[in-house]
Structure 1
Amino acid sequence: MNNINHHIKYIEYLLRKSRTILTNDISFHADRLSKISGTYPDLRNPVTLNEKICHRILFRHDPFYTMLADKLLVREYVEKRTKLIKLNPLLGIYNRVDDIDFDKLPTKFVLKCNHDSGSTVICTDRTDFDPILAKNKLKLSLKKNMYYTTREWQYKNIPPVILCEMYLDIFSNKNKMVTPEMLRVHCFHGVACFIEADFTDSDGNGFINVYDRSWNLQPFQMEYPNTPSPVDEPESFHQSVIAAQELAKEIDYCRVDLMLKGEDIYFSEITLSPKRGKLKITPAIWDAKLGSMWDLSLAKTGPIEPVYSCP
């Protein structure tokens, strides 16, 4: 049954890939963004944050962006640019699923591909883990090119491999509603301006609070509602902001995703196109306000002088 499901998913992927012949990338992104914004966007002359994300996907094809999107190569980039955060230790790199020796892996581990999103396999107990199911999922992911599904150019030319990392328990019995599972730091021209803090309650409901760099809750939401109660600033928040800026100083806009475990900060990824430029921002006026903070004429040329400041 699992093999049949994977064959069906691969056929669905091939159908999406074939659509690139019929629908160009501009129409693909414009049609999908119009369903979010309610108006048909001009992606050649963008104004909002979503429009500018789509504009970069479409018109700025830089190998630097491919490196940032590669979950393997970006590790070296992170190591060179900041000492404030940690990388989750690598246990192995595999070209094929059959290269994985599960008997040599610890009780807990994480497998994922370097070239996509959604291929992650988490094992928290090897005695209750199905390696065949994991292999089938990863084998399918290796065969797919994420560009043909999401039309995000930065993923198109990444040579796919499988990564195995240590399992990181960021909660350690802490209350999930007072401990962010992720900080997503939006940096404009090398400056951290807004931070999404992700939470999930005991029933699996998701919440996102958006803060400024001083942990002041902002008057807009991204994707999910705010938490029902106020949340205290994490102990490593300030250091997270500084680390994100060190990683983003050569990028006109990006989102740096970080995981907190007590005083330690772990790197997750640098996201160039959050939600593929289809973010649900409420109220909608904030899509334009955030877009005004990104000057497309200041491309990836290093830090800006004088130092950019958030509104």
Structure 2
Amino acid sequence: MNKLNGHLKYAEYLLRKWRSFFTTDLHFHTTRLYKSSGKLSNLRQPVTLNEKLCHRLIFDHNTLYTFLADKLAVREYVHARTQKIKTVPLISIYNKAEDIDFSVLPEKFVLKCNHDCGSTVICTSRDGFNTTKAANRLKFALKRNMYYTTREWQYKNIKPVILCEEYIDLFSGQDRNNTPEMLRVHCFHGVACFVEADFTDDSGKGFINVYDRSWRLQPFQMEYPNTPHMIQEPESFCHAITASQELAKGIDYCRVDLMLNKDEIYFSEITLSPKRGKLKITPSEWDARLGEMWHLTPVENRLA
């Protein structure tokens, strides 16, 4: 990110933040959902999965959600809830980008902020790694409160820091065409109901297969088409399901994102609002069918 682009992006962020004081979360999510689905929704009485995700963003401000969305704090939650998965080893924590001494970091590492999505910087080789570009990206991310751009309440009150984690090579000795880079386990009322398996082939094209908890391919798609390859059930799939349910216990809905590295399972994050409640589900009638799994009682915890 060069200096001019950085200034422009920050100005755009400030404009969105300013607009947030004049537009309610209810209006924001209603209009955004209409743009993505083509249907006008009553988010006070939600029916579909997307509507229920938006409803919770607007009306249910449980402080637990902030804790779970904080990529640093949630590590404590994971360690307390399950022994079946690992958190990615943490190298260091920084309050600002200027504190990072790149010269002491290992050959491969990952930098990301704890309070947002999209700030991740991956280094797979110190040779040619642009430290200035990485630092500028993280500086901008630290200044931005994600709530004002996406209206996801759980991110609003997280104190931002930068995390440096070890790099986990998920594809070492594996065929990436047949190896899921992420399992995203959708849990309703503590029960794992279906799983997204994410793939990126050798050409960089993305695919998502949706399976039930018995690894049977489901008749709907989320965001991306199915991979053309027949995918075998991962060896650690059952452990991933069990661990996800241990993490999701007591939560009406969440998505537990896990990385599989052969027989090891690494925690990625607990996602409370996939795609900000604007998931592309095909065929579209599955949005309502998935919504039936979530027995949500509409609440209004604040003026919307």
TM range (shorter): over 0.9
| Structure 1 position 154 matched with structure 2 position 154 | yes
Task: Tell me the residue number matched to 1:265.
Answer: 265
Distance 1:39 1:24 in 2: 19
Task: Tell me the residue number matched to 1:97.
Answer: 97
1:11-30 equivalence runs, <5 A:
11-30=11-30
Distance 2:221 2:254 in 1: 18
Amino acid at match of 1:242: T
Task: Tell me the residue number matched to 2:130.
Answer: 130
Deviations 1:147-192 (A, max 9, x none): 0000000000000000000011011031112110000000000000
Q: TM-score, normalised by structure 2?
A: 0.97
Task: Tell me the residue number matched to 2:275.
Answer: 275
Amino acid at match of 2:288: A
Q: Helix, strand or coil for the counterpart of 2:164?
A: strand
Does the CA-based 8 Å contact 1:17-1:148 persist in structure 2?
yes
Distance 1:21 1:67 in 2: 25
1:154-303 equivalence runs, <5 A:
154-297=154-297
Distance 2:228 2:164 in 1: 36
Distance 1:62 1:249 in 2: 15
Q: Helix, strand or coil for the counterpart of 2:21?
A: helix
Amino acid at match of 1:297: T
Q: CA deviation at 1:35?
A: 1.8
Task: Tell me the residue number matched to 1:112.
Answer: 112
Task: Tell me the residue number matched to 2:71.
Answer: 71
Deviations 1:80-106 (A, max 9, x none): 000000110000000011111111110
Distance 1:128 1:91 in 2: 21
Q: Helix, strand or coil for the counterpart of 1:12?
A: helix
Q: TM-score, normalised by structure 1?
A: 0.94
Distance 1:294 1:220 in 2: 18
Q: Which runs of 5+ in 2 are unaligned?
A: 300-304
What's the Cα RMSD here?
1.2
Does the CA-based 8 Å contact 2:45-2:298 persist in structure 1?
no
Distance 1:127 1:230 in 2: 37
Q: Helix, strand or coil for the counterpart of 2:145?
A: coil
Deviations 1:116-171 (A, max 9, x none): 00100111111211111111110000000000000000000000000000011011
Distance 1:225 1:25 in 2: 31
Does the CA-based 8 Å contact 1:252-1:298 persist in structure 2?
no
Distance 1:21 1:79 in 2: 38
Amino acid at match of 1:96: K
Does the CA-based 8 Å contact 1:26-1:43 persist in structure 2?
yes
Q: CA deviation at 1:36?
A: 2.1
Structure 1 stretch 187-196 or stretch 199-208: which is displaced more?
199-208
Shift >3 Å, 4+ stretches? none
Distance 1:298 1:179 in 2: 39
Task: Tell me the residue number matched to 2:302.
Answer: none
Does the CA-based 8 Å contact 1:142-1:161 persist in structure 2?
yes
Distance 2:127 2:168 in 1: 18
Amino acid at match of 2:68: L
Q: CA deviation at 1:229?
A: 2.4
1:46-65 equivalence runs, <5 A:
46-65=46-65
Amino acid at match of 2:30: A
Does the CA-based 8 Å contact 2:181-2:259 persist in structure 1?
yes
Amino acid at match of 1:277: G
Task: Tell me the residue number matched to 1:309.
Answer: none
Q: Helix, strand or coil for the counterpart of 2:87?
A: coil
